[in-house]
Structure 1
Amino acid sequence: MKNKLKIYFVGGNRNLKTGGGANISLSALENELIKLNYNVIPVMGINVKDALSFCKLSHISFNPLLKFTCKEIIKNWQDAFILLNYCLKTSQGLKRIKDPNSLIINNGHWCFNSDVLVIRFLMKSYLNHLKGLNYITPWYLSLLDLKKKIILFVENKIIKDTNIKKIITLSDKSKDDFNDCYPGLSSKVVVIPNGVNKDVFRFSVKDRLKTRKLLGINKKHPVILFVGGNIYRKNFELVIKVFKNLPSDIHLLAIIRREELDKAKEFSKGFGNITFLPWQDNPSMYYNASDILIAPTIYDTGTKVILEALVNGLYCLVSDSSGVGEFIGNGEGKIIVGSNSRKYYSEIRNRGVRGVVRKIQPGRLVLSWSEVGVMWNRLLSSL
C-alpha cells in the first residue's frame, strides 16, 4: 500500500539513470522511496505555461563573467533574465500543486514554495572560495555581472524561504560551508550523501576491453579519465597542463557536457591522444576503460563521479576542494592540492599509471542507494 504522503521531486536529470552531476540522482532515490511505499511524483517543470523546461537551463553556466566582450556580456544578461523568469514561474506552478498531503523536494532547483531543499553547494561559498585562491575578476566585470547578482539574490531568498523545513547537503564539507554563510539556519541542515549503485559500477574486465575497442584505444596504453559538467569549475585547463608533459602512450578520455565540448577542445589543440565524448547515460563503461580518474576541481562538495570511480576501484587523484575526503579511506585514493599541476604530474609519474590499476579496494565508505533511502525515509518520517 502506498504512503498517503505525496512526494514531489522538482528538478534533476531523470535521463541519467545511473550517474550524473545533479544534486541527487532522481531516478535512483525515487526507486528507493517507491520501495518504501511513498507516492513519488517527479516534476520536471510544471507545464509549458507555468515554467520553462528544465532542459532550457542546461546551457547556463554558473561561472562569473570572465571576459569583457559584447558577446559575453549579452549572454550573461540573457542568462540572468532566464534564471529569474524560470524561478518565478516555477514557484507559481509549485504553489498551485501544493496540498496538505504532499511534500515538495527541491533538488537544487530555482524555485520557492518547497518543503525540503537539496543543495550541493552555495554560489556564495563558491565565490568566497575563488577569492581565497585569488581567482578575483576585475571590478568592472564584477559590476557588469548581472547573472552573478541574480544568482546570489535568488539563492539567498530560496535559502531563507520560511516554507523550508529541512536543507539536505551531500557532505560534511558542504554543511560546514553552509553554516559559515547561514549560521542561523544550522538547525535545519542535514547531511545525506549521494548513493552509488555498486552493482552497476563494479569493475568488469570484459567491459574494459569492449569499451577500449569501441573507442579505438590500445588495450595496453594507460588511460586517464576526466569527467566534468563545468570545465571552468572542474579545472579542465589544469588537466591539459598535466597531460601535455606525460609520456605519449598515455591516453586522456574526457567526458564533458555537450555544450562545453568545443571550449574543451580549444584547450587541447595539437594533442592526438585525447578522446572527447559528451556525458553519457552509462558512465560505468568509461570507468572500466580507465586507470586513473583525475579531478582537480576548483570547488565542489561531494562530486558524484568520484564516488562512482571509487566503487569501480579506480585510483582517484582529486583536489582538496572536492569534498570527497570524508569518503576516501586509506589506500583508496589521494587528496592533493587542486591548484598545483606539478603535484598531479609528479603523482602520476611517481606511481606509474600501470602500477595503480585495480590494486586498491573499492570505496568502502561510499553508500549504496538502499542505505541512502533509509536515511531519507528517517528524515521524511520526522517532518
Structure 2
Amino acid sequence: MHAHAPAAPKQGNGAWQLDALLSYAEDSEAKVRGVLPQQNHYDQAGLRLKHVDISRSFVLRQPAAMQGLVSLGYHGDGVELEQAWLQPYSDGWQIKIGQMQPEIGWLNQQHSHALAITDRPLVYKALWAGQTTEAGVSGWHDWYKPSGNWRFSSSVLTTEKRNTRGNSGAWLSSLSWQRHWDNWVVSSKLDGYWASLQQSGLQLFSDAAISHSHGDDATEFFSGHSAHLGVALKVSWTTLSGTWSLMAEHQQRRERGDLSSAAGQTLDAQAELELKAAGQYVQTSWLSPRQQWQLAVRYDAAHSDVELSRVNGQDLQQSLLNHHQQQPQLLTLAASARLWPGSHLRWQWYEALQHGDDIPQWQLLLQQSVAF
C-alpha cells in the first residue's frame, strides 16, 4: 500500500498522478516470524518492477463541495484498490469516508516516494503489513493554540487486511501535537487501536514471501481481539546546509484468541494464543537545501512473546510463530539523488545486527513520479 496526498487540482477539477518504482535486490526478503502473518508485499531478488500506482484526485462542486481520491496499485502479484475516499468541505470537524490509509504513526499515510528510506521499519512490516489500508469512516478536528497545533482523530475501520470473515471491525484514535520554534519543528503522536477479529485467515506454515491468505487460501484461522498502542516523536531543523530530521516510534500490540486449522488441513493448529509484540525505530536524515541529495540512517528492532495453551499436537513448533524469541535488529543506510524532476535514484544498504540473516544486503531503486 502506498499513500498519496492529493495533487493540486488542475483548473479546479482534479489531477492524475503516476508513480513507479524499479528495484534490484541482492536477495529475497523472508516473512517476519513471531507474529500472525498478514497480507504483505515482500521484496524479491533480482531486477523487478516493485510497484506502480496511478491515482486521480478530484474536486466536486455539486451537490456538495468535497474532494476525493481514487488510487490503484500494482505490486508484482496483482492490482489492488488502495484508496477511494470522499471528504466533504466543512468547518470544525472533518470527515473522510471510503477506502483510506489510517493515521497510524508517521509512515502509514506516506508514499514511499516521500520517504528517505523506502522500506518500512520492521515494526510496520510485522504489525501493519508494511502499510495498511482499510475502508471506514474517519473524523478529525484541529485546534490552534499558543502551546502548539493539536489534532484529534477517530476512525471506525474494517479488518480486510487481516482476511477476516464474520462480525469483525476495528477502532483507531490518535492525538497529535506540533510546535514551531524559529527553524525548529517538533511533533509528537499517540495512537490507540482495538480490533475484534473473527476467522482471520492465516498461512502459518508457508515461507513463501508472496503468499497471501485470501479466502479459501487460508490454512489456519484466528479469532480473538487485538489491542495496539503507539507513541511517536519527530524533530526537524532547517539550516543553510539543509534540513536535519530525527524521527522515532515505539509500537506494541497484544493479541488473544483461538487458533484453528482450516478444514482438510493435514497439520493441526489447535491452540489458545496470547501474543505480545513490540517494535521501535530511530531514524535521522539530511536533505540538501535544493532537495537534490538526501542521506539517512535508521536503527530498528522488533520482538514478540508467544504463549500457546491447550495445544493440540506439536505442529505449531514448525510454524511462523516459532523463533519469536530471536529479536531482529537492523541498521539501514540510504543515499538518494534527484536525477530530474520527479525522479530519484536510491541506494539502500542493510546490516543485520542480530537475527537478520534472511534480509538482502543492499538494494538499488529508481523512482519516477509524474503528475498530469
Structure with the bigger percentage of strand: 2
More helix by share: 1
TM-score by length of 1: 0.22
Question: What is the TM-score when the length of structure 2 is the normalising length?
Answer: 0.23
